[in-house]
Chain A
Amino acid sequence: MKQFLVFVRKEFYHVFRDRRTLLILFGLPIVQILLFGFALTTEIKNAKIVVVDYARDVASQQIITRIAASSYFSIGQSAMTYEEMYKSFREGKVKCALVFPANFNNDLLHSNKAQVQIIADASDPNTARTLTNYLTAIIGSYQDQLNATVTIPYRILPETRMLYNPEMNGSMNFIPGVIALVLMIVCTTLTSVSIVKEKEMGTMEVLLVSPFKPLYVILSKAVPYLALSLINFIIILLMGVFLLHVPIRGNIFLLFAESTLFIISCLSFGLLISGLTNSQQTAMLVSMMGMMLPTILFTGFLFPLENMPVPLQVIANIIPSKWYYSIVKAIMLKGLGFAYVWKETLILIGMTAILLTISLKRFKIRLQ
Chain B
Amino acid sequence: MNSETTGKAIETTSKASETTGKAIVCKDLSKQFGDFIAVDKISFEVNSGEIYGFLGANGAGKTTAMRMLCGLSYPTGGEATVAGFNVYKQQESIKKNIGYMSQKFSLYENLSIKENIEFYGGVYGLTDQQLQQKGDELIARLGLEKEAKKMVGGLPLGWKQKLAFSVAIIHQPKIVFLDEPTGGVDPVTRRQFWDLIYEASDKGITVFVTTHYMDEAEYCNRISIMVDGRIDALDTPANLKKQYSARTMNEVFYALARGAKRAAD
Q: Which residues of A contact B (CB under 8 A)?
A: 2-3, 5-7, 9-10, 13-14, 17-18, 201-203, 205-212, 367-368
Task: Specify which of A13, A209, A367 is in contact with B95 (CB 8 Å cutoff).
Answer: A209
- Tell me, yes or no, whether B58 is within 8 Å of chain A by CB: no
Please name the residue on chain B nearest to A209 by beta carbon: B100
Residues of A within 8 A of B198 (CB): none
Q: Would you call A209 and B92 a contact (CB within 8 A)? A: no
Residues of B within 8 A of A209 (CB): 70-72, 95, 98, 100, 177
Knowing A209-B72, A367-B72, say if A13 contacts B124 (CB, 8 Å). Answer: no
Residues of A within 8 A of B111 (CB): 10, 13-14
Q: Would you call A208 and B105 a contact (CB within 8 A)? A: no
Q: List 8 A-B contacts (CB under 8 A).
A: A5-B122, A7-B119, A10-B111, A18-B110, A205-B104, A206-B100, A209-B70, A210-B100
4 further A-B pairs in the complex, CB-CB below 8 A; given A3-B122, A203-B108: A202-B104, A206-B106, A209-B100, A212-B123
- Tell me, yes or no, whether B107 is within 8 Å of chain A by CB: yes
Please name the residue on chain A nearest to B115 by beta carbon: A13
Q: Would you call A211 and B108 a contact (CB within 8 A)? A: no
Q: Would you call A6 and B123 a contact (CB within 8 A)? A: yes
B9 to nearest A CB, angstroms?
6
A305 to nearest B CB, angstroms?
43
Q: Would you call A201 and B104 a contact (CB within 8 A)? A: yes
B249 to nearest A CB, angstroms?
27
Task: Specify which of B103, B106, B118 is in contact with A203 (CB 8 Å cutoff).
Answer: B106
B81-125 interface code vs A (CB 8 A; 1 in, 0 out):
000000000001001101011111111111100010011101111
B209 to nearest A CB, angstroms?
15
Q: Would you call B72 and A2 a contact (CB within 8 A)? A: no
In the assembly, what is the distance between CA of A151 and CA of B73, in Å? 83
In the assembly, what is the distance between CA of A210 and CA of B125, in Å? 10
Residues of B within 8 A of A202 (CB): 102-106
Please name the residue on chain B nearest to A13 by beta carbon: B111
- Tell me, yes or no, whether B219 is within 8 Å of chain A by CB: no
Please name the residue on chain A nearest to B112 by beta carbon: A13
B219 to nearest A CB, angstroms?
24
Knowing A203-B106, A203-B108, A209-B98, say if A3 contacts B125 (CB, 8 Å). Answer: yes
Task: Name the interface size band of chain B.
Answer: 20 to 34
In the assembly, what is the distance between CA of A170 and CA of B1, in Å? 69
Interface centre among B72, B92, B123, B125 (most CB of A within 10 A): B123
Task: Specify which of B73, B109, B123 is in contact with A367 (CB 8 Å cutoff).
Answer: B73
Residues of A within 8 A of B125 (CB): 2-3, 211
- Tell me, yes or no, whether B74 is within 8 Å of chain A by CB: yes
Residues of A within 8 A of B107 (CB): 203
In the assembly, what is the distance between CA of A211 and CA of B106, in Å? 16
Please name the residue on chain A nearest to B110 by beta carbon: A17
Q: Would you call A208 and B106 a contact (CB within 8 A)? A: no
Q: Would you call A3 and B123 a contact (CB within 8 A)? A: yes
Residues of B within 8 A of A6 (CB): 118-119, 122-123
Q: Would you call B106 and A210 a contact (CB within 8 A)? A: no
Please name the residue on chain A nearest to B111 by beta carbon: A13
Interface centre among A3, A201, A205, A211 (most CB of B within 10 A): A211
Q: Would you call A210 and B104 a contact (CB within 8 A)? A: no
Task: Specify which of B71, B102, B119, B168 is in contact with A10 (CB 8 Å cutoff).
Answer: B119
In the assembly, what is the distance between CA of A18 and CA of B153, in Å? 13
B260 to nearest A CB, angstroms?
26
Residues of B within 8 A of A203 (CB): 106-108
A2 to nearest B CB, angstroms?
7
Knowing A2-B122, A6-B118, A211-B96, say if A368 contacts B74 (CB, 8 Å). Answer: yes
Q: Would you call B123 and A207 a contact (CB within 8 A)? A: yes
Knowing A13-B110, A209-B95, A210-B123, say if A368 contacts B73 (CB, 8 Å). Answer: yes
B182 to nearest A CB, angstroms?
15
Residues of B within 8 A of A368 (CB): 73-74
In the assembly, what is the distance between CA of A137 and CA of B118, in Å? 64
B105-147 interface code vs A (CB 8 A; 1 in, 0 out):
1111111000100111011110000000000000000000000
Residues of B within 8 A of A13 (CB): 108, 110-111, 115
